[in-house]
Amino acid sequence: MEAGTKPNRRLPEQHRKGGLPIGSVGIKRPDGFFDYLFNICFPKDHPVNTGGVPEGLKPVDFSQTDVSEVEPFHDPDAHVANPTGVAALSDGFVSMHPEGAILMLPDGSTRIDFEKEKIFRQYATRNAHRWFTYVEDARGRDSEDLSLYIITGTDKSSSFGVASF
C-alpha cells in the first residue's frame, strides 16, 4: 500500500474502522500520513479524543443539516487520474501524459462534506493559540513551520487500487 493508505493502529478504533470524522485536527506529515491530534466536533471525554484535547475545548456547534452526503459520488468502476486525460480501456488505461497517477474505485465512493467551512475557520482563528500550545506542550510536537489541518470532508470507498506511471 502507498503511504497514507494504512490506518495508524494506535488511533481510536472508530477512526480505524470508519476513517477520520469531520472536525478532526491534525498535521499532514512529509510521508503523506495525517497525524491525528483531536476532534473539535466532540467533547473532550468522547472516545475520539482519548489522546487529550487543548485546554478549554468546547465542541463546535452545528447541525447535521450542515453536512452533505453524496452516494455514490463516484460510480462503481470509476477512476480518478492526475493529470486528467487518462482513458479507461477494457484491459487497462492509456494516458496522454508521461507521468501521473490513477486511483481505481471498483465499488465507487461516497463523499461527505461540511458545507459551512466558515464556522470552522472562525473557530480555528479564535482557538489557534491554544491549539499550538497543546501541540507543543502536551503532544511534544515542534510547532515551528507547522500547519494544523481540519478535516472538512472525506471521500470514502470500501476498495481501491492505486498506480503511478
At residue 93, the pLDDT reads: 83
* 131-147 mean pLDDT: 89
C-alpha radius of gyration, the chain, whole number: 18
C-alpha cell at 136: 507543543
The three cell numbers of residue 130 are: 491554544
Distance CA 92, CA 105 (A): 14
**Res 6 pLDDT > 70:** no
> Model's pTM, two decimal places?
0.81
C-alpha cell read off for 90 = 477494457
Q: Which helix (H) or strand (E) holds 111?
A: strand 109-114
142 or 56, greater pLDDT: 56
Length of the chain: 165
> Which backbone phi and psi does 58 adopt, to 5 degrees?
-120, 130
Convert the pLDDT of each residue in 48-99 to its tens digit: 998 999 999 999 988 989 999 999 999 999 999 888 888 887 778 888 888 9
The amino acid at residue 91 is D
